[in-house]
Amino acid sequence: MLVNELGSEEIILIRENLNKILNDELFFQSQRQSRFLQYVVEQTLTDNAKSLNQYSIGIDVFDRDSSFDPSIDSIVRVEAGRLRSKLRDYYTDAGNTDRVLIEIRKGRYAPSFVFREIEDETSENSEEDASAYGRHLIIDDKPHIAVLAFINSSGDKEQDYFADGISEDIITDLSQFPDLAVIARQSTFSYKDRHIDTAIIGRELGADFVLTGSVRKSGEKVRISAQLARTVDQRQLWAERYDHALDDIFLVQDKVSSDIVSALQLTLKINTTKTAEPRHTSNLEAYDCVLRGAEFARKSNRNDLIQAMALFRRAIALDLEYAEAYARLSKIYVYQWISGIETKTETLDKAKELSLKAVEFCPNSALCHAALGWAYEWQGEEEKARKQWAKAIDLDPSQADALSWLALNLAWSGQTQEAEKKLEVAKRLNPMEEYCFPSGTIAYMEKRFADAIELFDKSLRSDPAFIPGHLFLASSYSLLGEREQARLTAEKILGINPAFQLPVDARSTIKVPDIAKNFRESLEGLGLGTSN
């Protein structure tokens, strides 16, 4: 719910609760935390929540000057963590009967407010409605929903890809509703095979609602069960089971998504006039190929990428207009090129050709526009890339990938402050991803090479075969004068791909001439010469 939907009585209750918190001994002795909390609450109540970011808080709360750089000075992030901890302690003790709960979710600085009904212990009846459990008011922008990986209950581990694919498609469908913010798959799937309370998941992901479920595929039949819960009180808002023939899987997915939105409409005022875009295919075998191909593609090693490409090509052969298959195949071609697996320029030409077809066949797909932007970026057509990512984000505001790629584009063009803003939004949508590579790129472009080294090194721990990470790390070491570390990093690149050479166009990424020159020369000095 937006701040202008709060009633005057509710605003009075919030301010009364704020004053009670500030006068509690936990906060009374901590002027810094008190000032932080009062600032973010008042900014939100005066409809300025969207202006709350690290930069504004650093200047207005912690007295930093206009040169304040949140990527160097982490005071806001550190103090925000302390404030969240202090609020938890308050509500566990002195505030355990407060009518209002003020929450600052991880990844956000604008607070959410929960109104609780404190029931009379002598009451014999309790209302089974929203007010009895507490009413969650999402103030910062829009309600956030996390779709967890659906459980594969088929009894066949080989069917995990199918259950994962169903979950991912529901994420895509829900992302198309403009009044919902959908947490990215990468973050929600980190809870796969783990039994954790929805309240904890809500706090960790900044999610107001969590969707869980299971998929059972047996022969030509499929059963999907789904449950929607509110994280603040773990109340189940909706649950349903769908038994259908496997041929009806696309119909079932559409029904699940529309039923979820209808259930949310009963709790929140959200726009449900928009419907999810039609499926990219009606061919069940082609769809199955894409699900299995996506599973291989996420592993990012050479053999798995070959398997993924074969499956995407098979999907295209089965349905010549299957846009998602073209888009996913295009992304692998780009990945092969930036990782040095394929160095011929024809690789990028093929990627662009495939993603152009994807957009042609499905012009309203955020995935397709994001893939085309990625192909344009590595061909040096950064303006075209930005337009495609802007289109992807317009179609799907929860497209964390497009936001992070746009951040890279802006950073390589020298617009590091704008890049930081885009990355901050991506982190809110995908809070389990630290985005170390784009953050490291921002630091590199700002010539903060010590910070860049730390970030690139961290990014490579999760993806040790990602050659661009090694390239920027080697260059950072070299430019900082740490020649031995630079040499060892260059050796790792050649260990991943013994035939690796820098393409003549230096990947056309860095658009700031002096930085581009230093990047190339630092790598050539390490024996990473250019290919013809």
Determine which helix (DSSP H) or strand (DSSP E) holds 216, and give its type and residue range.
strand 209-218
- Whether pLDDT at 121 is above 50: no
Comparing 3 with 441, which gets the higher pLDDT?
441
Residues with Cβ within 8 Å of 417's Cβ and at least 6 positions away in sequence, in order, are none
Query: What pLDDT is stored for residue 126 in this prediction?
Result: 35
Comparing 396 with 4, which gets the higher pLDDT?
396
- Whether pLDDT at 23 is above 70: yes
Comparing 386 with 2, which gets the higher pLDDT?
386
Asked if 202 and 144 count as a contact pair (C-beta separation under 8 A), the reply is no
pLDDT band at 318 (very low <50, low <70, confident <90, very high): very high
Query: What pLDDT is stored for residue 311 in this prediction?
Result: 96
pLDDT band at 467 (very low <50, low <70, confident <90, very high): confident
Comparing 502 with 240, which gets the higher pLDDT?
240
Asked if 463 and 482 count as a contact pair (C-beta separation under 8 A), the reply is no
Q: What is the mean pLDDT of residues 302-327?
A: 94
Q: Which of 134-138, 172-176, 195-199 has the lowest mean pLDDT?
A: 134-138
Task: Classify residue 136 by burial, with Cβ atoms within 10 Å: 0-12, 13-18, 19+.
Answer: buried
- Whether pLDDT at 24 is above 90: no
What pTM value is reported for the model? Answer: 0.68
Query: What pLDDT is stored for residue 399 in this prediction?
Result: 87
Query: What pLDDT is stored for residue 131 in this prediction?
Result: 32
Structure tokens belonging to residue 370: 């994001």
- Whether pLDDT at 514 is above 90: yes
Q: What is the mean pLDDT of residues 198-203?
A: 84
Secondary structure of 35-71 as H, E, C letters: HHHHHHHHHHHCCCHHHCCHHHHHHHCCCCCCCCCCC
Strands 112-115 and 135-137: antiparallel
- Whether pLDDT at 108 is above 80: no
Q: What is the mean pLDDT of residues 347-359?
A: 95
pLDDT band at 428 (very low <50, low <70, confident <90, very high): confident
Q: How far apart are CA 187 and CA 190, in angstroms?
A: 5
